[in-house]
Amino acid sequence: MATNRTFTMIKPDAVEKGHIGGILAMITDAGFRIVSLKLTQLTVADAKAFYAVHSERPFYGELVEFMSRGPIVAAILEKDNAVEDFRKLIGATNPADAAEGTIRKKYATSMGENAVHGSDSDENAAIEGAFHFSGREQF
Ligand code: RTP
Ligand code: MG
């Protein structure tokens, strides 16, 4: 399996509750290498652009408001089969359906406030990583 990269955000709900350290520990314990990392905040325009794929969905306004309401942690991660393995590590979008041992099972509180983001393809991982980090910030 090829070593490749994914992109994640620790969402505002988890940052507010003090779970940055716990979530980063689960990520590194699962074998992901941190390529880039920062505490930052999405503007409303950033959140709209980042989730533009969902612009026609009924939850879009709520999602944009939530994702821009406070700081997030943005990170690029590297591992064999990174995108798929990270989606497994974070668990189902709805924490009620998330498997034991997943980040969302432990830290998410609802479908909307679900603690972490994970890219859904190699192509989107590259786009999303470049949204937050310059080449010089990728190690
Ligand atoms: P993400 O992109 O954040 O990793 O989440 P995901 O792939 O598991 O889920 P996706 O379908 O891409 O939805 C993006 C985010 O929108 C919020 N959402 N709310 N209220 C709802 O029905 C609803 N559905 C989705 C969640 O925050 C979800 O993570
Ligand atoms: Mg998604």
- For ligand 1, atom 4, the nearest C-alpha belongs to 117
Condensed to tens digits (0 to 9), the pLDDT of residues 59-70 reads 999 999 999 999
What is the pLDDT, as a whole number, of residue 75?
A: 98
- CB-CB neighbours of 38 under 10 Å: 12
d(CA 47, CA 67): 6
- The set of residues, in sequence order, having a beta carbon less than 8 Å from that of 52 and lying 6+ positions away, is none
d(CA 104, CA 119): 15
Task: Give the ipTM of the model, two decimals please.
Answer: 0.95
Residue in the structure block whose two tokens are 């190699």:
122
pLDDT higher than 80, residue 111: yes
d(CA 76, CA 34): 6
What is the pLDDT, as a whole number, of residue 1?
A: 66
What is the pLDDT, as a whole number, of residue 70?
A: 98
Distance 53 CA to ligand 2 centre (A): 9
* Average pLDDT of the residues in 107-118: 97
Please name each of the domains of the chain with its CATH number.
3-42+73-137 (3.30.70.141)
Type of residue at 109: T
What is the pLDDT, as a whole number, of residue 2?
A: 82
Task: Decide the pairing of beta strands 72-80 and 116-118.
Answer: unpaired
- For ligand 1, atom 13, the nearest C-alpha belongs to 93
d(CA 101, CA 2): 25
